[in-house]
Amino acid sequence: MKNQKRTTIYDIAKKLNLNASSVSRALSNNNNVSAATRELVLKTAAELNYKQNSLASNLRRGHNKTIGVIVPHINQNFFADVIAGLEEVTYQQGYNLIICQSNESYTREVESVNTLINQHVSCIIISVSADFEDDSHLRNILAQGIQLIQFDRVADNLETFKVVNDNERASMEAVSHLITQGYQRIALLEGPQNLNIFKQRKDGYIAALKKHNFEVLPELMIENAWTKELGAIATRKLLNMPMPPDAIFASTSDFSALGVLEVAHKMGVMVPEKLGICGYSNEAFTEITTPSITTIDQHSVDMGKTIANLFFQEMGSEKEVRPKIVNIQPKLIVRSSTLKNKLGRSVR
Amino acid sequence: MKNQKRTTIYDIAKKLNLNASSVSRALSNNNNVSAATRELVLKTAAELNYKQNSLASNLRRGHNKTIGVIVPHINQNFFADVIAGLEEVTYQQGYNLIICQSNESYTREVESVNTLINQHVSCIIISVSADFEDDSHLRNILAQGIQLIQFDRVADNLETFKVVNDNERASMEAVSHLITQGYQRIALLEGPQNLNIFKQRKDGYIAALKKHNFEVLPELMIENAWTKELGAIATRKLLNMPMPPDAIFASTSDFSALGVLEVAHKMGVMVPEKLGICGYSNEAFTEITTPSITTIDQHSVDMGKTIANLFFQEMGSEKEVRPKIVNIQPKLIVRSSTLKNKLGRSVR
DNA sequence: TTGTAGGCGTTATCAA
DNA sequence: TTGATAACGCCTACAA
């Protein structure tokens, strides 16, 4: 368990009466070494249980086969899935992932960026925190010659590679679906508006209402209702209004939608007959609630893969590449919680 | 975006007519430098946007403030939670986390171990894959002088630091609870028995039966039913037996329990009246199924914190420390799916 | 095909 | 308190 010395290429060289450079060449198989020495070196390396020191190798070569990832929370399904997708691809390419969570704190986000810069990672992949203040730390990444990909929650004013969901369109589709189902007064649960994704979802909601000539009613749009608890509180308030909504679009998350559902149950409001509910994210549980919840799938694992592929395929070249924005189309998953017409439709 | 040179301590030194070593001292604030030069150095470093090169620093100092983590899947709640807990503590200590997922493959696990050894991480934290073959790669970690902590799924024959759940006791408690509720024929859904955690859960099941003088019936113990789909198939088989069970303990996971519940619904078997169901893990959805599912909470985020604290508090010292095993007590969460007596009890 | 030498950026040791 | 120098382990021109 002690800090004993590890075997280096010098140890191998000494044992074989070779020079360290020959050993190095033999180990990095692309160079010119005689087959005999290569074999000898490999054999001895195995015997001495040699492991390369990546620190030295990376320092010498000036780059690190490592990618840094910063997310608000590692253990939220969406982010965990994206990371799993990322890991899948980066692993294939022999890259490692260093993971940081900002805990929705701007300070921690900045600190994490600095650590990753210090580590000389090849690329930083980030989804910004909820109390995002300004993008100077992100600009700094670029200034240090490190690649940058933003995903999901991105800084609008900074031109970098981005992989995002088409939040506005998905929202529009969800609200249009509600309207088609015959809901008349559709409320919106909003997330923090300093995050662009939540702004876009709100925009989609408004666009859908306008498209169908529905009035946009400020009293039906509840700010900052992005957890289960806040969703529940908002719902109680909404359902106690003189003219309550007959549908609620929890644009922030399925957790928020779950809060809506629980309050509806407690208040004896029938779902979907008297209240339609639509969530966002396609969390596993939306399939098994009673009724199951209509929601929007973000293809999170694929998103991770897309991000990684972007790096390996489009950002590797030395020439200046114009930042590209990849827009992933989320998918509306219609379930029971919004199927007001289901009885009518199933009868001939 | 180009690979321009980053500023080094030499750049700062040159600008200030100092020696690089003085700059180094000034930046690592513990050494003896005059207050004046320190201030000057810090100011210039900020001006030139200096970032330390951790690769060089770690190479020189011979250790890396980085911890490697290997789990079967990053995006499974239990592991994601453990990682979140780990990150929380390691971040406080200025350590980074490199994350690998083995995808339940032994080969990938071995490869990941090697990468982490190459990276000279200070510690490797691992939960082994389902097709775990032998522990030579783990022994290699120790042979390289790297700390090793196993958690949850551990190699029994290898003496290292370990943080585990008391699976056997939790299982015993769950089955005893079922018996107390009046269930008479309790089936077990098992996980792969080459993983110790699943063996322990089976042991707990058997121990509970014996303790209450119940017969242990092989036909009620279904091997390898550890996903939702396999759980469903097993349930169909069980419920179609001449003498079907009146309770099923899905010892592998809540997903498996979910499979049980869905089949029960489809076959019209009342839960909990005709069939009691108990899962394992306390996944978020167990609270909101109909009926809600009795399960076992593993304190996963705390487990991550415990692991990290073990490393920082007990493994830092230079002297040989005897590996310690921390046993975390899981908690039985009783919900509707096993409350056969609930009606009886709520009546006075 | 192999050996020599220098350097990646930092820190530790010694001397001044 | 500061400067000079070597070394961490590896890679890569260049020379032999």
pLDDT (tens digit per residue) in A61-93 = 988 899 999 999 989 889 999 999 999 999 999
B130: pLDDT strictly greater than 70: yes
Query: B112 CA to chain A: closest CA distance, Å?
Result: 9
Closest in A4, A84, A98 to B98, CB measured: A98
Q: Residue A49 gets which letter from DSSP?
A: T
B36: pLDDT strictly greater than 80: yes
Report yes or no on A206 lying in a domain.
yes
Cβ-contact A176, A212 below 8 angstroms = yes
Report yes or no on B344 lying in a domain.
no
Report yes or no on A322 lying in a domain.
no
CA distance to A80, B69, B73, B173, B237, per residue, from B107 (Å):
23, 16, 15, 36, 34
CA distance to A103, A201, B207, per residue, from A117 (Å):
19, 33, 54
Rounded percentage of chain B residues whose pLDDT exceeds 90? 79
CA distance to B136, B151, B162, B173, per residue, from B325 (Å):
20, 10, 5, 22
Report yes or no on B18 lying in a domain.
yes
Q: B21 CA, C10 C1': separation in Å? A: 9
Report yes or no on B219 lying in a domain.
yes
Report yes or no on B270 lying in a domain.
yes
pLDDT (tens digit per residue) in B42-93 = 999 999 999 999 999 999 998 889 999 999 998 988 999 999 999 999 999 9
Q: What is the mean pLDDT of residues B187-216?
A: 96
Chain A contact for B84, CB < 8 A? yes
The confidence score (pLDDT) of residue B319 equals 57
Chain A contact for B316, CB < 8 A? no
Report yes or no on B303 lying in a domain.
no
Q: Which A positions 255-314 lie with beta carbon below 8 A of chain B? A: 258, 262, 283-285, 288-290, 301
3-state secondary structure of B325: strand
Q: What is the spatial distance between Cα A224 and Cα A199, in angstroms, rounded to a whole number?
A: 12
Q: What is the mean pLDDT of residues B220-240?
A: 95
Burial of B135 (0-12, 13-18, 19+ CB in 10 A): middle
Q: Do B100 and A96 touch (CB under 8 A)?
A: yes
Chain A contact for B96, CB < 8 A? yes
Q: B22 CA, D3 C1': separation in Å? A: 8
Which nucleotide has the shortest C1'-to-CA distance from B32? D1
Nearest alpha carbon to residue B250 among B224, B271, B214: B224
Which nucleotide has the shortest C1'-to-CA distance from B36? D1
Q: Do A74 and B80 touch (CB under 8 A)?
A: yes
Q: Which of A37, A52, A67 delimits the end of a domain?
A: A52
| CATH code assigned at A230 | 3.40.50.2300
The confidence score (pLDDT) of residue A342 equals 61
Cβ-contact A128, A194 below 8 angstroms = no
Q: Is the CB of B9 under 7 A from strand C?
A: yes
Q: Which residues contact B133 (CB under 8 A, 6 or more apart)?
A: B106
Q: Which range marks the domain in which residue A209 is found?
A: 167-298+331-338
| CATH code assigned at B47 | 1.10.260.40
Domains identified in chain B, total number? 2
Report yes or no on A212 lying in a domain.
yes
Query: B173 CA to chain A: closest CA distance, Å?
Result: 27
pTM (two decimals):
0.88
Chain A residues within 8 A of B73 when measuring between CB atoms: 84
